[in-house]
Structure formats: C-alpha cells, structure tokens
Amino acid sequence: MEEHVKHHLRRQLRRLVTERPYQVVAGSAAALLLATGAGVLLAGADESPARQQTTAAVVEAAPRLADVASRNQARVAVTTPAASPSPSASPTPPAPAAPSATPRRTADPDLTRTAAPKPPASKVLDYDYQAQITYYYCGPAAVRHALSAAGVDRTQDGLAGPLSTTEMGTNSALDTTRVLNQFVKGDPYRTRMFPGTPSAAQIDRLRADVVAAITARRGVVANVAGDATDTAGGWHSFPGGHYIAVVGYRDSGRLVRIADSADPNLPEYWMTTVDLANWIATRGYSA
C-alpha cells in the first residue's frame, strides 16, 4: 500500500513540473490532499478522533484550494502579455536617405562677362593734315589722314600706287578699304556701300561705324559725290566725286568732323551724320 502511494505521488510531481502556473496551483492542492490522505492511510486503519478531524479539515479545504486555482488561472490569463514578435521578425528601419549632392554652381557667362566700356560722347583724333598735292590725289590724301591718326606715316605718292590712283582718280571705297588694311594691324576696316539714298538703318550704321572707328583711333575714309553743307553753312560741291576723312565726332556720333584735302584754307569742318550719309549716296565708305 505504501509503495503504491509513493508511486502515485511521484507521478503527480512529474506532472506538476511540466504544467502551466495555474495548473500548478490546482495540482498543488490535489497533491496536498493526496499527501494528507496518504499520511492517514500510512498511519493505520485504527485512527484516532484527532486524525479523523484532520482528514475532514483537509477534505473541507479542497474546494477552497480548487477555487484558488481557478482564480489564479483567470489572473494568469489576464495578466499574461501576448507573445511579442521575435526581434528577428521586427521590420528593419529604413536607412536614412543620403543627402542629395548640391549641384555645383557655375558662373553664368552672360552675367560674369565684362561689359565693353561705353564710348565717349565725343572724340577727335590727333592726325597729320595735308592738302592733296595733285587735283586727283584726294584718295591718297584721305587715306594718309586716316593712317596718320593710327600712327602710320605714309606719303601721298606712296599710297597712290597701292590705290591704283590715276588722273581719273581712285576707283571706289573698295580700294581704300584694301589699302587701309594693308597698313593697319588686324584688318579692321570694312566697306559699306550705299547704292542709292541711304535708309534710316544705314544712317544709324554709319554713325555706329564712325563712333567705333574713332574710339579705336582709326579715321574713316568716305567716297562722296554731289553737294553738302556743313554746320557752319559752308557749301561743298564735288559733282564728279571726292574722298574725305572723318577724324572725330560729337553728340554720340550725330555730328562728324571732316578732314578735307581739297582746300587748305578750310581743312576741317563739322557736318551732321545724316548730311554725310546723303553725300555718300551711290558711293561707299571704309570704317
């Protein structure tokens, strides 16, 4: 009988080890009852009243123990937290985005380009005046005036050959442009031709060309024909054609300074750019 009870107790203890907390409580109550009952049985069949009373108390306590086990089971069910996800299952926080590289700013060439200096409102060149030495050397004389302003010293005879000047004169502004570029570095001169009465745009072009050339210390050579009046009222007439040099300007190019080799008594005079343009009509100029 004793061996049977011990065997039963061992089985109960093994079960208690593997049960959940609330089952442990209930199992503990059952084990207490078994142990108490076993103790009574082992004590022998001839029980004293005190032992019977103890047995009764144990039996009476059994329901209360079972009730405690039930409450513990409920408490465990409420307070036991839900299983948290495994750390390995938690989402990996996204890596912070790398800061975008700030684009390198480059200088805007339109903003950083140095503006060309504004030309002066008026300018007159320093040149070496000389009246033409023959009646048909107006072309060589005008070219000489322009070259002397650029620091180039040439004689009228020395220029007549390159200009192909004859007793009939110098052919056209194309010749004066060609020879001027032979002696001035960079070939800066260009020919502008007026086939008829100049337009407003052509007059503006003449004014701009005069200002640019004089600012660069270059005289302008013009092939004129017909009559023109200067700002002082002087009248200048060359029905067969003539060459003059422009050696200065005023009022931002609206007035031009003329060097005229035809009359040493009147070597220079002022004229409006509009009058000069009409004087050049059907001819051209080198600037």
With helix as H, strand as E and coil as C, how does the chain read? CHHHHHHHHHHHHHHHHHCCHHHHHHHHHHHHHHHHHHHHHHCCCCCCHHHHHHHHHHHHHHHHHHHHHHHHHHHHHHHCCCCCCCHHHCCCCCCCCCCCCCCCCCCCHHHHCCCCCCCCCCEECCCCCCCCCCCCCHHHHHHHHHHHHCCCCCCHHHHHHHHCCECCECCCHHHHHHHHHHHCCCCCCCEEECCCCCCHHHHHHHHHHHHHHHHCCCCEEEEEEEEEECCCCCEEEEEEEEEEEEEEEEHHHCEEEEECCCCCCCCEEEEEHHHHHHHHCCCEEEC
Q: What is the CA radius of gyration of the chain?
A: 62
Instruction: Specify whether 162 is located in the same domain as 242.
Output: yes
* 271 alpha carbon, distance to own chain's centre: 49
Total number of domains in the chain? 2
**88 located within any domain:** no
Question: In this predicted structure, what is the pLDDT of residue 12?
Answer: 55
Residue range 163-167: mean pLDDT, rounded: 98
User: Picking from 74-78, 101-105, 191-195, which range would have the lowest pLDDT averaged per residue?
Assistant: 74-78
Question: Pick from 26, 44, 79: which residue ends a domain?
Answer: 79
Same domain, 14 and 145: no
Q: Is residue 62 domain-shared with residue 168, that is, in the same domain? A: no
The predicted pLDDT at position 43 comes to 36
Mean pLDDT of 195-215: 97
Cβ atoms within 10 A of the Cβ of 53, count? 11
pLDDT of residue 31: 36
Same domain for 135 and 26, yes or no, is no
Classify residue 116: in a domain, yes or no. Answer: no
Q: Which of 46, 79, 112 is the last residue of a domain?
A: 79
pLDDT for residue 68 is more than 80? no
Residue at which a domain ends, from 20, 55, 79:
79
Q: What pLDDT, on a 0 to 100 scale, did the predictor assign at position 116?
A: 74
Q: Are residues 67 and 132 in the same domain?
A: no
Q: Is residue 25 part of a domain?
A: yes
Residue 162 has pLDDT above 70, yes or no: yes
Residue 6 lies in a domain: yes
* 20-56 confidence digits (pLDDT tens): 443 433 344 333 333 344 333 333 333 343 333 433 3
75 and 199 together in one domain: no
Band of residue 208 on the pLDDT scale cut at 50, 70, 90: very high
Distance (Å, whole) CA 112 – CA 180: 35
159 and 51 belong to one structural domain:
no
Q: What is the CATH number of the domain that holds 204?
A: 3.90.70.30
Tell whether 75 and 164 lie within a shared domain.
no
Q: Is residue 18 part of a domain?
A: yes
Whether 272 shows a pLDDT value over 60: the answer reads: yes
Distance CA 236, CA 186 (A): 34
Confidence of residue 94 (pLDDT cuts 50, 70, 90): low
State the pLDDT at residue 117: 85
> Torsion angle, CA of 201/207/210/216, rounded to 10 degrees?
-100
Q: 149 and 26 in one domain? A: no
Shared-domain flag, residues 127 and 73: no
Please indicate, yes or no, whether residues 141 and 260 belong to a single structural domain of this protein: yes
In a domain, 98, yes or no: no
- Asked if residue 212 is part of any domain, the answer here is yes
Task: Look at residue 110 and tell me if it is in a domain.
Answer: no
pLDDT tier at 277 (50, 70, 90 boundaries)? very high
pLDDT at 51: 39
Residue range of the domain that includes 37: 2-79
Instruction: Give the pLDDT confidence score for residue 145 in this predicted structure.
Output: 98
